[in-house]
Amino acid sequence: MDWTTRHSKRGALFESRRYSDWPTLAEDLSTGNLTASFLLAPMAMSLKQRGVPIRVVYLGHRDGTTLMVRADSGITRFDQLRGKRILVPSRYSNQKLWIARLLRENGMTFSDVELSDCPPPDMPAMLATGGCDAYATGEPHAARAEMAGTGKVLLFTKDSWPNFISCVLVVREELIRTRRDLVQELVDGIAGSGLWLDRSQENRFEAADVVGKYYYNQDPELLRFVLSKPPDRVRYSQLTPLRKDFDEIMNLAVGSGMLERPIAFEEYADPSFADAFPGSPLPMPGDTEGTKP
């Protein structure tokens, strides 16, 4: 956000507002207290179906979700989770849909496992203390258990559901109507930062140090781990919202009862901002070739 602000042609100020749970964030978005946010993809569809005037304009990242089990569990295959307790971040999360997809692939249903919601920061402790047998969440909360030695990776989304979408950037429709230039600058800033991040491992380490220290209040070593082990654990490019990806999410969400009825891509997505992105990484400090594509 700071870098988007610094490169704003109109001198606009982009600020980030941190939340600790999804329901509060969704409530602020619904009432208009918040006009732009990163949000779980199925939650964005659900809010739109309930009349909240929002549009998905970009993706937050691709992949970056991991299914963790206890390090000493002996579990090496998904079907060994039959009868086990699995945590997901929210009943409207794509992580829940990933579990639905895995259950289907293994000839199982939701009735074969015990699925519960849990705030992602609490998941590593739940796993370590026996409060659950597995959890599926976005990073860095899987890597925390891995680094601590209490958890091990059962599956990465990148191997099981390639190009997985978790968080999307949504904006309220009145912001698109009245401040289209501002939304474009926001998308350009996020897209440009993503291209810069994915350009080299050095850039990822630099970002881990800055973000860990000043924004996430996380150990930079943890973020370095997330962004390098393996390097494609999470990706920040190819973030244009695509109909085929969202239709798959929507169909899974309807099939699992997360959405009451189907919703068309055009009703909740507006990829025009991503299409208008000029395709250049944002120039970063000490970056002499930052403007080259």
Partner 1 sequence: MAASSTRKNPIRLLLICVAGWTALITLAHLAANVGFSGFAEDARVALGLERRSLRVGFLPVT
Near partner 1 by CB under 8 A: residue from 2, 7, 9, 12: 12
Closest CA to 89 of 54, 125, 65, 58: 65
| Lookup: tokens for 71 | 């390090």
Q: What is the DSSP letter of 269?
A: B
Burial of 282 (0-12, 13-18, 19+ CB in 10 A): buried
String of contacts with partner 1 for each residue 140-159, x by CB under 8 A:
xx------------------
Near partner 1 by CB under 8 A: residue from 34, 68, 100, 155: 34
- CA torsion, points 184, 58, 120, 202, in degrees to nearest 10? -80
45 is a contact residue toward partner 1 (CB under 8 A): no
String of contacts with partner 1 for each residue 209-228, x by CB under 8 A:
------xxxx-------x--
Phi and psi at 2, nearest 5°, equal: -60, -40
- For residue 197, the minimal CB distance to partner 1 (Å) is 12
Near partner 1 by CB under 8 A: residue from 42, 124, 138, 271: 138
Nearer to partner 1, 110 or 215 (CB): 215
CB 194 within 8 A of CB 58: no
CB 197 within 8 A of CB 80: no
- Stretch 228-267 residues interacting with partner 1 (CB under 8 A): 234
Near partner 1 by CB under 8 A: residue from 176, 186, 197, 249: 186
Coil vs helix vs strand at 70: strand
76 is a contact residue toward partner 1 (CB under 8 A): no
- Residues forming the site for partner 1 (CB under 8 A): 1, 10-22, 25, 28-29, 34-39, 60-61, 64-65, 89, 120, 137-141, 166-167, 169, 174-175, 177-179, 182, 186, 215-218, 226, 234
